[in-house]
Amino acid sequence: MIEKKFYTLREIAEKISVPYHTLVYWQKEFDIKPRVSYERKFRRKLFFDEKSLKEFRWIKFLVKREGYSVPGARSKLAAIHRFQRGKEVKGRILVWIRGEIAEILELLNNSNYG
């Protein structure tokens, strides 16, 4: 089955079992930006991507399951994002270090010191 790439808030509401009006509130409170929007007959249509869907799922988990208030969930979500960015940076640094070590090993293997 092919997964959709973009969703309306109503589709996300059905997908994660949260009322539509709650998602509208969360979108504003957590400043979740739509990835695509267009206007049609005096109405603006907003579409959200998989990343936004995951954000809404995190918010639902923090607010409904873990019992965080909206400000508390906002802080926790920011901490989660900082942690993930830190992991990405560390991962890139490790890849760079591995590349440098591989180059050093290649130089040593190709030299007359072996």
Position 35 scores a pLDDT of: 84
Question: What pTM, to 2 d.p., does this model score?
Answer: 0.68
For 94, residues 6+ apart whose C-beta sits below 8 A from its C-beta are none
Higher pLDDT, 83 or 16: 16
Residue 3 included in any domain: no
Residue 38 included in any domain: yes
Asked if 6 contacts 48 with a C-beta cutoff of 8 angstroms, the reply is yes
Residue 25 included in any domain: yes
What pairs with residue 36 in β-bridges? 47
Residue 97 included in any domain: yes
Q: Residue 37: pLDDT above 90?
A: no
Domain housing 28: 9-110
Position 17 scores a pLDDT of: 95
Number of structural domains found in the chain: 1
Higher pLDDT, 83 or 11: 11
